[in-house]
């Protein structure tokens, strides 16, 4: 909220914004390049996951956890086919190389 250019703790110019800080109170927070990159990568990753979810609309997607989908299906459904569909590159990300891995289990577990 309310971004502007300001000085960081090293007296260098940086983007600052108002947000809830470590004290759980509103304060001016400084930002830095790698934080911007991290947020951009997470946003694009989320968009790619949403694209994969649309390609798997015929599956019963129960949940997603960060970069994972939790799908309930019959045991004869091909895991390789699901991974192939999830690894498809969205049209808006031409040239991006994607790959998906998966596993079958009777209950969710983090691998």
Question: Where is pLDDT greater, at 8 or 52?
Answer: 52
Structure confidence by residue, pLDDT tens digits, 53-82: 999 988 899 999 888 899 998 888 899 999
Which parts of the chain fold into alpha helices (H)?
33-55, 79-86
The structure's pTM equals: 0.75
Mean pLDDT of 38-62: 92
Given a cut of 90, is residue 48 above it in pLDDT?
yes
pLDDT-based confidence at 6, cuts 50/70/90?
Answer: confident
Query: Residue ranges of the domains in the chain?
Result: 4-31, 44-93
């Amino acid at each position: 909220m309310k971004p502007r250019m300001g000085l960081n703790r090293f007296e260098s110019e940086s983007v600052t914004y108002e947000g809830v800080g470590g004290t759980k109170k509103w304060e001016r927070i400084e930002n830095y390049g790698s934080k911007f990159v991290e947020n951009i990568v997470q946003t694009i990753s989320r968009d790619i996951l949403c694209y994969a979810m649309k390609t798997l609309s015929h599956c019963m997607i129960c949940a997603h956890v960060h970069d994972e989908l939790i799908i309930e299906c019959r045991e004869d459904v091909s895991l390789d086919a699901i991974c192939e569909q999830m690894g498809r590159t969205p049209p808006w990300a031409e040239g991006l190389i994607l790959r998906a891995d998966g596993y079958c289990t009777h209950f969710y577990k983090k691998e």
